[in-house]
């Protein structure tokens, strides 16, 4: 089923247990979108789906999805019923940078989860939306992809790749003159289980609901790339402009 003027259709949420994703899911449900929560933890997804259905009175289903199994992604996409009108990719793994430095399997897990797996599944979405002539893809990347830092350069490298992928996809659809939108989201710190063990500065740490609001505003408007919260655009501009001899001496 595709979206109509009365029914906005269903949105596929990849990484459906993510706290940011669930805040976006709730915001979309408030607008009448149905939801498909996809991920690895079937019990957690069922719980969240039941909660969203009760709170918002929309249809919410679940689907099994593992970013680390790209060979399953074409069948996963074909199995989705109804066919999604849009996709939010909130899959992410911060991992343990120290472990990744000495164990390439973990470094590879970071690259495969944050980059390869996301590209693999979003390629399915892109092909389907291209055929239909409409749809939206919201990819949650990170400010970590704007400049490699000593503390998380595997995660950062994957997010940089993801940002470039989303940019290329957007260019592809722009030159196609189609009505497929690709939105890149670059959050700074967000208070979720991903950052629970990290000491993030309170003033710069957003709540998932604030990130969700920023994303919905982008969906309503024309912005292709957003930072969330807005001040990260300026923080990252300064960080990107720092000359390398200065940057390499910082502990950012």
Ligand X SMILES: NC(=O)c1ccc[n+]([C@@H]2O[C@H](COP(=O)([O-])OP(=O)(O)OC[C@H]3O[C@@H](n4cnc5c(N)ncnc54)[C@H](OP(=O)(O)O)[C@@H]3O)[C@@H](O)[C@H]2O)c1
Task: Kindly list the residues in this chain that would bind ligand X in the complex (CB under 6 A).
Answer: 15, 17-20, 39-41, 65-68, 90-93, 113, 140, 142, 187, 189-190, 192-195
| Residue nearest ligand X (C-beta atom) | 92
Residue 188 CA to residue 212 CA, distance in Å, equals 13
Q: How far is the CB of 228 from ligand X (least distance, A)?
A: 9
Q: Which is nearer to ligand X, 194 or 242 (CB)?
A: 194
Q: How far is the CB of 17 from ligand X (least distance, A)?
A: 4
Q: How far is the CB of 50 from ligand X (least distance, A)?
A: 17
If one counts every other C-beta atom within 10 angstroms of the C-beta of residue 235, the result is 16
Q: How far is the CB of 226 from ligand X (least distance, A)?
A: 12
Q: Which is nearer to ligand X, 132 or 213 (CB)?
A: 213
The residue with tokens 């609001």 is 213
Q: Which is nearer to ligand X, 87 or 91 (CB)?
A: 91
Q: How far is the CB of 39 from ligand X (least distance, A)?
A: 5
Q: Which is nearer to ligand X, 3 or 15 (CB)?
A: 15
Q: Which is nearer to ligand X, 62 or 142 (CB)?
A: 142
Q: Which is nearer to ligand X, 29 or 158 (CB)?
A: 158
Residue 126 CA to residue 130 CA, distance in Å, equals 6
Q: How far is the CB of 248 from ligand X (least distance, A)?
A: 23
């Amino acid at each position: 089923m595709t979206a109509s003027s009365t029914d906005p259709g269903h949105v596929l949420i990849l990484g459906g247990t993510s706290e940011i994703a669930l805040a976006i899911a709730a915001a979309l449900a408030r607008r009448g979108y149905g939801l498909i929560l996809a991920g690895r933890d079937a019990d957690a997804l069922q719980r969240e789906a039941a909660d969203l259905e009760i709170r918002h009175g929309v249809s919410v289903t679940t689907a099994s999805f593992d970013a680390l199994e790209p060979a399953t992604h074409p069948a996963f996409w074909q199995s989705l019923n109804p066919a999604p009108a849009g996709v939010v990719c909130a899959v992410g793994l911060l991992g343990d940078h120290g472990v990744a430095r000495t164990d390439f399997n973990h470094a590879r897990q970071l690259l495969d989860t944050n980059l390869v797996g996301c590209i693999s599944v979003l390629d399915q979405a892109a092909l389907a939306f291209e055929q239909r002539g409409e749809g939206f893809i919201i990819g949650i990347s990170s400010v970590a992809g704007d400049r490699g830092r000593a503390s998380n350069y595997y995660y950062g490298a994957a997010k940089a790749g993801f940002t470039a992928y989303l940019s290329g996809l957007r260019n592809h659809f722009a030159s196609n003159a189609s009505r497929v939108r690709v939105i890149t989201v670059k959050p700074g710190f967000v208070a979720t289980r991903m950052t629970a063990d990290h000491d993030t500065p309170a003033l710069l740490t957003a709540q998932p609901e604030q990130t969700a609001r920023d994303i919905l505003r982008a969906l309503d408007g024309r912005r292709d790339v957003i930072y969330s919260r807005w001040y990260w655009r300026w923080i990252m501009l300064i960080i990107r402009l720092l000359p390398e001899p200065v940057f390499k001496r910082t502990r950012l």
